[in-house]
Amino acid sequence: MSDDDLDPVIHAPARLRIVVTLSTLAPDEDLSFTRLQELIGLTAGNLITHLRKLEDAGYVTTVRSGRGVTARTGVSLTSSGRSALEHYSSVLRQLLDGATEPPG
């Protein structure tokens, strides 16, 4: 197993932070774009670009609601996004375990 087995959509610092942050919410919950931006510490442009990549992969969904001052964009992790993160974590653990094992 090598680094290439890690999902390239998730395997980037910013997207990894986004996916992990969203995974801490309950499955039916979402997080506003503004709060997500505050937590991740990216510019709005950067965050949009990363979210687009995750959305294209089917890992997150964004839902716009309200108008004017009440406008809100909610971002949530899809079930396939949760599964992808679980798989990513599992591969990562195997890579790290392999790296610490003494050479046989």
Partner 1 sequence: MNEDASAERADSAAADDTDALDPSRAAAIMAEAREKALRELRARYPLVFATWGLVLMIGYGAIWLSVLGQHPYTGPAPLSLLALTLLLAAGAVTTVIIVGRALTGIGGGPAAQRRVHYLALTAGVVGVFALEGALAHAGASNSLLGVYGAVAPMLVTGVVYTASPALWQDWSTRALGAWLVVVAASSAYAGPVGVWGLAGLLAGVGFLAAAVVRRGRDRA
Residue of the chain from 4, 9, 46, 54 that contacts partner 1 (CB under 8 A)? 46
Tell me the HSE value of 25 on the side-chain side, using a 13 A CA sphere. Answer: 20
Measured CA to CA, the distance from residue 25 to residue 69 in angstroms comes to 25
Q: What is the dihedral of CA 28, 21, 78, 61, to 10 degrees?
A: 90
Question: Does the protein bind partner 1 through residue 96 (CB under 8 A)?
Answer: yes
**According to the binding rule CB under 8 A, does residue 64 interact with partner 1?**
no
Looking at the Cβ atoms of 35 and 58, the one nearer to partner 1 is 35
Q: Does 92 bind partner 1 (CB under 8 A)?
A: yes
Q: CA-to-CA distance for 17 and 85, rounded, in angstroms? A: 11
Chain residues binding partner 1 by CB under 8 A are 3, 6, 11-17, 20-21, 23-26, 28-32, 34-36, 38-39, 42-43, 45-46, 49-50, 72, 74, 76, 89, 92, 95-96, 99
